[in-house]
Every structure is written in structure tokens, then in C-alpha cells.
């Protein structure tokens, strides 16, 4: 009887964890989408992710960017966490800070051009503390999405002869 009860408890715990992770799957595809300009050819990057976050939580994602490509990184979250999520982008080899949205007016979208192929670390931080939208009530968890888009860089300057 003890073994059956232990097995049931283990199944309930694992299904609870699985269902919480599943709650946020695809969140970035639905909520981080920006209005598309027909002249721009942004493509979805499979390195994009969504996850369940608590206030004060920090999570890192390693991604590869390629030479001669433009990238657009967008971060979004459920309103229960407020409307801003902090994120930083580091070079994974040198650990150099390349971008911090806290110093860029908390922008939730960042576009850049890659001059070389390299790995980046994207660190997402959900601020700790109360938010105005939920009347200063702390949240146990909410979905956060990180959408990465890419396109071939436009040719600039003189063409070769």
C-alpha cells in the first residue's frame, strides 16, 4: 500500500511540473509578435523560448548568431509580472556585456547586425516586487517569452565590380 501511495504522489508531482511547463509553451509565438512590415523579411528563429518565471527569477539562454544576418530579439511577459522584463546580452566567449535594456529605456525589442558568427548568452531577469497592474500583489509565476527573429542583412555601400 505504501508503494502504491508513493507512486501516486510521484505521478501527481511530475504531472504538476509537466503541466506548469506546458502552460507557457509557445507563449513567445503568440504574444511577442511585432507588427510586420511587408518589405522586411524577418523569419522565426528556432532558438526562441518560453518559460514559467517567478518574480526575481534569472534565466540564461545560449544562442548562435551568424555573420551577415540581422537579428531582432523581443521579450514579453504576462501582465501579472508588469509590462517590463530586464534582459542582457553577453558574448559567451569573452563574457562582455553587449546590450542591457535597463540602459536603453527598458526597451523590450532590440535589433542588431552580426559582423561575425558567435555565441551569445541572453540573460532574462523578472524584477522582484509588486506590480501596479495587480494592485501590488506578488505573483507565484507567469509566462515569459523570448522571440528571436533573423533575416539576411541588406547590402550596404558600393557593390563589388
Q: Which range is least confidently modeled, 1-10, 11-20, 97-106, 128-137?
A: 11-20
Q: Are 120 and 91 in contact (CB under 8 A)?
A: yes
- The reported pLDDT for the residue numbered 85 is 86
- pTM tops 0.85, yes or no: no
Sequence spans of domains, the chain: 26-152
Average pLDDT over all residues of the chain: 80
At residue 16, the 3 state secondary structure works out as helix
| Tally of CA atoms within 13 A in the half-sphere of 62 that contains its CB | 5
List, for residues 93-127, the tens digit of each pLDDT value. 999 999 999 999 888 899 999 989 999 999 999 88
Q: Decide if 76 contacts 144 (C-beta within 8 A).
A: yes
**CA torsion sign, 157 to 159 to 160 to 161?**
negative
Average pLDDT, integer, range 36-45: 81
Mean pLDDT of 49-68: 92
Distance of alpha carbon 7 from the chain centroid = 35
**SS3 letters for 45-97?**
CCCCEEEEECCCCEEEEEEEECCCEEEEEEEEECHHHCCCCEEEEEECCCCCE
Whether 5 shows a pLDDT value over 80: the answer reads no
Residue-wise pLDDT for 68-83, tens only, equals 999 999 999 887 766 6
| CATH architecture classification, 26-152 | Sandwich (2.60)
Contact 90, 96 (CB under 8 A): yes
pLDDT at 34 over 60: yes
Using the predicted structure, report yes or no on whether residue 6 has a pLDDT greater than 80: no
**pLDDT of 36 above 50:** yes
Instruction: Check pLDDT > 50 for residue 133.
Output: yes
| Sequence-distant (≥ 6) Cβ neighbours of residue 31 within 8 angstroms | 76, 143, 145
pLDDT at position 95: 95
Amino acid at each position: 500500500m505504501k508503494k502504491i501511495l508513493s507512486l501516486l504522489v510521484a505521478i501527481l508531482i511530475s504531472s504538476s511540473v509537466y503541466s506548469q511547463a506546458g502552460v507557457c509553451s509557445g507563449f513567445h509565438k503568440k504574444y511577442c509578435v511585432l507588427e510586420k512590415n511587408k518589405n522586411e523579411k524577418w523569419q522565426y528563429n528556432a532558438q526562441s523560448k518560453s518559460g514559467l518565471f517567478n518574480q526575481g527569477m534569472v534565466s540564461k539562454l545560449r544562442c548562435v548568431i551568424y555573420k551577415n544576418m540581422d537579428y531582432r530579439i523581443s521579450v514579453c511577459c504576462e501582465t501579472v509580472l508588469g509590462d517590463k522584463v530586464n534582459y542582457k546580452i553577453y558574448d559567451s566567449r569573452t563574457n562582455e556585456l553587449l546590450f542591457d535594456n535597463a540602459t536603453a529605456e527598458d526597451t523590450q525589442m532590440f535589433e542588431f547586425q552580426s559582423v561575425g558568427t558567435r555565441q551569445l548568452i541572453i540573460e532574462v531577469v523578472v524584477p522582484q516586487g509588486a506590480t501596479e497592474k495587480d494592485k501590488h500583489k506578488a505573483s507565484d509565476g507567469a509566462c515569459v517569452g523570448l522571440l528571436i527573429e533573423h533575416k539576411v542583412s541588406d547590402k550596404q555601400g558600393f557593390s563589388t565590380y
